[in-house]
Structure 1
Amino acid sequence: MVFLATGSEPCSYKDSQYSMSIPDYQSTFRPLLCAIENGAEVSFNDALESVCKHFQLTQEEVQERLPSGGQTVIKNRVSWARTYMKKAGLVLAPRGKIQITERGRQALLDCPEKITVKYLKQFQEFREFYTSKRTNTSITSSQQEEESSITPEEQMAEAYKSVLESLSADLLENIQKQTSAFFEQLVVDLMLKMGYGGSREDAGRATQLSADGGIDGVIYEDRLGLDTIYLQAKRWENTVGRPEIQKFAGALQGEGASKGVFITTSNFSKEAKDYANRVSSRIVLIEGHQLAQLMIDYGLGVSTRQTYEIKSVDSDYFNAE
């Protein structure tokens, strides 16, 4: 990576307040322009590397990814910076590269500290882009984004996370309203959804035959029945303590079993977790929040109301000879 300089005074890289953390996307506007200020076309990846160096990001920070896992946080933020400044006419972005314009050079003079969305709004092209993607939103919403530290994609991820948290709470609330027998069957259904067991009928008969001795269900680990997993289900609101895990471990030993799954709608005490890690049988503990997430992931007790896709430009298509 190299920093490019012109005959004029180069941009300063010494006064960053984000030296130990990932900067918000608006804070990357000016450093991105500084990385390309000599006017030559620069590959976006080289410019991104310059921004990372400017903020003195650690390797861990450079590799930190969005919740979706599809892109790193810093690349996502610098990509949005490129998009916003391109719409405002501060940069050109031909084929995976980036180049400063005269308007971009003027922005460096106008904004010696930080270039922001508010500054970009003086340009008609940017206002049209910015307004069109906010149809039917309020002025307050627009003002909030001007001060926002996260990109639109990150805002969507945060909103999605909130929806999931609300759905998880609703699932656990509905489970608590059901009978213990319903919950025991739910646990078997979840294991089947996850790919365990042979058939619903086999799992159902196993549940009915083993509803004593600290075991609520039995399911095959695979469709051939080469190994068996014993299940315990506790539809509780209070914390599950060590005595319950001891009872389950004893039941496994009595059956000559080596694997068990203990699922609760609440949580496990530290003592319970420590004990489960020490016993010879392999016992997996699943708490309420994990149970809800698994139900969401495997489509049990939930239905899809709306699907959104986030797409990006396929650079391979446009770079094909």
Structure 2
Amino acid sequence: MPSQICHVLAGISSRKHAGFAPDPQHIPLFNLGCQGPDIFAHNRRTKPFALAYARLLHRRRYGAFCRVAAVSLRNSPDPQIRAWLAGFVTHQAVDRMMHPYIVYRSAELPAKAVPGVSPALYHAFFERIIDVLILRRQTGRQAASFNTDPVFRLSRDACAILSRFIAATLRSVYPESAADDPLLEQRVTNAFWDTRYFYHLTNPARTGMSIPANKSAITHFSDRGPAGVALLYPENPDAAVDWLNDSRSPWKDPVGGTPRHESAGDLFDRAVGEGAAVIRCLEAVLSGDESPEALEQLAGNSCLSIQNADGSIAAVSYADPLDLPAELVRETALRERWISGLSVDPVKGELV
């Protein structure tokens, strides 16, 4: 899954293209909505967990969830839920559009390329590289400018409203898993707060190397070696590597091997266009000018990753990974040496 910055940037661009303007006080709820079911995947501290719902929404019936949620919101309007749902409907476009490139360039790395680092962490690290470079592409800003604390601000009242709404929608869309789950609302609540905790812990405004006060925040991860650093945002990925494929060099669909050439920026722009279309459809459903089924069809019910012809999640058949192990080792060394008293040029990302 693309990481949180990419999802927020795509969501913001999509809502602007769609002409959707939530109340400014509800923009953080929109940003949280852009994270889609990823919030359930971050629920790893507080029981009862909601991890199972991350898998369900990523694998099937995402469009059905959007349809049921839209009907419920139309029947009982709430500006906070509306802002969150407008962000939520954009998540799938970014995931489906960008996953083929991310998977092709990060899968099938040697299992022990860096001791203690799992294949999933290379995937996560690559997503953070993309986040940093897409942020620079879209705004001209460095990662440290993206302060996740205000971006994902959440009050307890808003959390309670969203948790009830999401739990009710999950029960309707996934009755086999959720209908008899008496702890579902608490699971959703826990997911929100664990997500806020994780975003604060990895906040690039706290973990950037350009601010001396950030040393203690970085140490939390660097003490864990490359496996910890993989979850941080690299400030300046090696410029000699074409991480976003800006040269539009050929690559292959990781499932069928179809030749492709798009850059990550091209895919991001397409996702923005699709996200805008889904937001417009959602607004039309809420106003009674479009059917809920049209929203379901547009959002789609196939999985959000690489997929087979039937929409189910697919295995990787083709991959040509970038040298993510080397970049992770480089980033770890930069942070460890910075903590030891050396400094890093905040623009070039080089030791000085």
TM range (shorter): under 0.3
TM-score with structure 2 setting the length: 0.22
TM-score with structure 1 setting the length: 0.23
Higher strand share: 1
The structure with the larger Rg is: 1
